[in-house]
Amino acid sequence: MNFYLKTFIEVLSVTIPIFVVVVIGYLFRRRGIISERAVPALNKIAYYLGLTTLIFTSIVKYDLKEIFNIGIVKTIYTTFAIFIVIVFISVYFLKVGRKTKGAMAISSFRCNMAFVGIPVIISAFGDIAGAKTSIIIGFMTPVNIIFAIIFLRVLGGQDNERKNYGRFFLSFLKDPLLIAAVAGILISYFSIPLPKALLDLLNILAGLAIPLALITIGASFRIAHIKLNLKFLILTSILKLVAEPLIAFFIGKYMYAIDPVDISIIVILFGMPLAVAAYIMGREYDSDSDFISSALILSTVTSALTITLWLFFLKIFFRMT
Going residue by residue through the chain (321 aa), what tens digit of pLDDT does each one get?
Answer: 567 788 788 888 888 888 898 899 989 998 999 998 888 888 888 888 888 898 899 888 888 888 889 999 999 999 999 999 999 998 888 888 888 888 999 999 988 888 889 899 999 999 999 999 999 988 888 788 778 878 877 776 554 445 556 666 676 677 787 888 889 888 988 889 999 999 999 999 988 888 888 888 888 777 766 777 888 999 999 999 999 999 999 999 999 999 999 999 999 999 999 987 787 677 767 788 788 888 988 898 899 899 999 999 999 999 886
- Report whether 10 contacts 123 (CB < 8 A): no
- Report whether 152 contacts 102 (CB < 8 A): yes
Rounded-to-integer distance, Cα 269 and Cα 57, Å:
19
Whether 18 is covered by a domain: the verdict is: no
Structural domain span for residue 239? 41-208+228-317
Whether 7 is covered by a domain: the verdict is: no
Whether 155 is covered by a domain: the verdict is: yes
What per-residue confidence (pLDDT) applies to 160? 44
Which CATH number characterizes residue 272's domain?
Answer: 1.20.1530
Whether 30 is covered by a domain: the verdict is: no
Whether 12 is covered by a domain: the verdict is: no
What per-residue confidence (pLDDT) applies to 172? 62
Backbone angles phi, psi at 111, to 5 degrees: -105, 140
Q: Which long-range contacts (CB under 8 A, 24 or more apart) does 12-16 make?
A: 12/308, 14/120, 14/123, 14/124, 14/311, 15/120, 15/304, 15/307, 15/308, 15/311
Count structural domains, the chain: 1
Whether 218 is covered by a domain: the verdict is: no
Output the DSSP codes for 67-107. Answer: H--HHHHHHHHHHHHHHHHHHHHHHHTSSS-HHHHHHHHHH
